[in-house]
Amino acid sequence: MKSKAQPKYQRILLKLSGEALGGPNGLGINAEALNDMARQIREVRELGVEVVIVIGGGNIFRGNIGSERGIERATADYMGMLATVINALALQDALEKQGIPTRVQSAITMHQVAEAFIRRRAVRHLEKGRVVIFGGGTGNPYFSTDTAAALRANEIGAEVILKATKVDGIYDCDPKKNPAAKRFTQLTYLEALQKQLKVMDSTAFSLCMDNKMPIIVFDLFKPHNLCRVVVGERVGTLVTTGNEL
């Protein structure tokens, strides 16, 4: 897709779930899903948009599930953080095969495979045209990668968080279970809270609301959807203060 439209955003944070890398069954790393993500990210970079990515690890290991199975919670969460670094390296490889220079920064220090997270260095990479992939979550147990996305978006001055999912926005109930589910095109933070819509976990959502960070929830698995969001098309569901709507 060669879009002639000007991008609405100059710096975005793309939140990818680990399950998205796992393809249809959400497990392991699916080469087709990975390459499709890389192509969509390349389209956005070709518009001159600066891209940072926070990636989950649920396709490999999820901390809360490990905890439920008897692993000590903090240990399980660290294992989940390591899974996000595996995904970050896989995405880096796919992007560089598409000709996109990248850097992986990890909140858990591992010099052999990734830079340590340093905010000023991350911003400099963006200014030089590199895609920056943040692995390792926040580096702390008990925090999700949604929270890492909200934190990093604010730290590096992103204009919006684009939360990539397998559904085309936020619904009033599960559209897979209820065909009559209603999709919202836009919401305020307060409406999302009042309706108890699970946009993000509560810590991540509070960070976004307190810092007026817009969130767009959209379906990454439709061709060119990421590019459509970035140029300002009405794709998915927008969550803001309401003043921008």
The reported pLDDT for the residue numbered 175 is 86
DSSP letters, 59-102, are TT--HHHHHHTTS-HHHHHHHHHHHHHHHHHHHHHHHHHTT--E
Read off the pLDDT band of 3 (50, 70, 90): low
The architecture that CATH gives domain 11-167+189-234 is: 3-Layer(aba) Sandwich (3.40)
pLDDT cut 70: percent of the chain above it? 97
CA distance 148 to 81: 11
Quote the strand ranges of the chain, DSSP E: 11-16, 50-55, 102-106, 115-116, 131-135, 160-165, 170-171, 183-184, 186-188, 215-219, 237-240
**Residue 39, Cα to own-chain centre: how many angstroms?**
16
Domain definitions of the chain by residue range: 11-167+189-234
Longest pairwise C-alpha distance within the chain: 53
Q: Which residues, listed in sequence order, are joined to residue 151 by a DSSP beta bridge?
A: none
Indicate left, alpha or beta for 114 from its phi (over 0: left) and psi (-120 to 50: alpha): beta
Indicate the residue type of 48: G
Read off the pLDDT band of 176 (50, 70, 90): confident
CA distance 217 to 200: 10
> pTM above 0.85?
yes
Cα angle, residue 28 at apex, residues 34 and 13 outer, rounded to 5°: 45
CA distance 216 to 6: 18
Q: What average pLDDT does the segment 194-216 reach? A: 93
Closest CA to 132 of 3, 39, 11, 1: 11
pLDDT tens for 11-43 read 999 999 999 999 888 899 999 999 999 999 999
